[in-house]
Amino acid sequence: MKKRVELEDTGMTFETGYDLDAMARKARAWLELIGEDPEREGLIDTPGRVARAWAFLTRGYQQTLEEVINDAVFEAEGSEMVVVKGIEFYSMCEHHLLPFFGQVHIGYIPNGKILGLSKFARITEMFARRLQLQERLATQIADAIVEVLDPQGVGVVIEGTHLCMMMRGVEKQQSTTVTSAMRGVFKEDLRTREEFLALIR
């Protein structure tokens, strides 16, 4: 059963079905394993904060595509390309549990149906708020749009910055990763794909 939780210092609340007490106990144990004292002043409330933060950061697991779309599909004439650029996303890399973030650009050519524009951001958010790979994120967004709209084609391009490259290992601060997923005419027709890529530049 889901309950509403306040995310401290933000003024916002969200619903979660996670066992926050169990998550807090795990966070406390992790603090002990790295040699910290969970009883010291600065860490007393940290396990609970970590539990709430991770419940928020991974809330996409508790959402479905149907809930996110919420009947925002509409009949429409025309077959001109629709592009939504610069959708911000924040996610957690499944390899190191470190953040990666950036922008998602989505284009599609309708096939009798269109989607409310805000829903592209909500679809992105649902998949980003899971442990992710950037390559998979692009694929999941594209496939979800195909499932909902059955368009003539879909293109998704993601530009991401990964803290696993910036904070550890090679420690390269200026690198970005670009991934894409093309479906339908975006994959099959070079001119359509080039038009989309030109529009998002």
Per 3-state DSSP, the chain is made up of helix, strand and coil in percentages (nearest 5) of: 40, 30, 30
**Residues in the chain, pLDDT under 50:** none
pLDDT for residue 90: 98
CA-CA-CA-CA dihedral for 40, 41, 44, 46, to nearest 10: -100
pLDDT for residue 175: 83
Phi, psi (degrees; rounded to nearest 5) at 149: -110, -20
pTM of the model: 0.93
CA-CA-CA-CA dihedral for 106, 110, 114, 117, to nearest 10: 20
**Are 8 and 53 in contact, with CB atoms under 8 Å apart?**
no
In order of start, what are the domains of the chain with their CATH numbers? 3-57 (1.10.286.10), 71-200 (3.30.1130.10)
pLDDT for residue 60: 97
pLDDT for residue 74: 94
pLDDT for residue 174: 77
Q: Which helix (H) or strand (E) holds 178?
A: strand 177-184
pLDDT for residue 131: 98
- How many angstroms separate the CA atoms of 7 and 5, rounded? 6
Phi, psi (degrees; rounded to nearest 5) at 7: -95, 105
Q: Which helix (H) or strand (E) holds 155?
A: strand 153-162
Which tokens belong to 158? 């993601």
**Nearest CA to 192 among 87, 112, 80, 117?**
80
Which residue in the block uniquely carries the two structure tokens 């950037």? 134
- How many angstroms separate the CA atoms of 37 and 28, rounded? 9
pLDDT for residue 9: 81
- How many angstroms separate the CA atoms of 36 and 38, rounded? 6
pLDDT for residue 66: 96
pLDDT for residue 50: 97
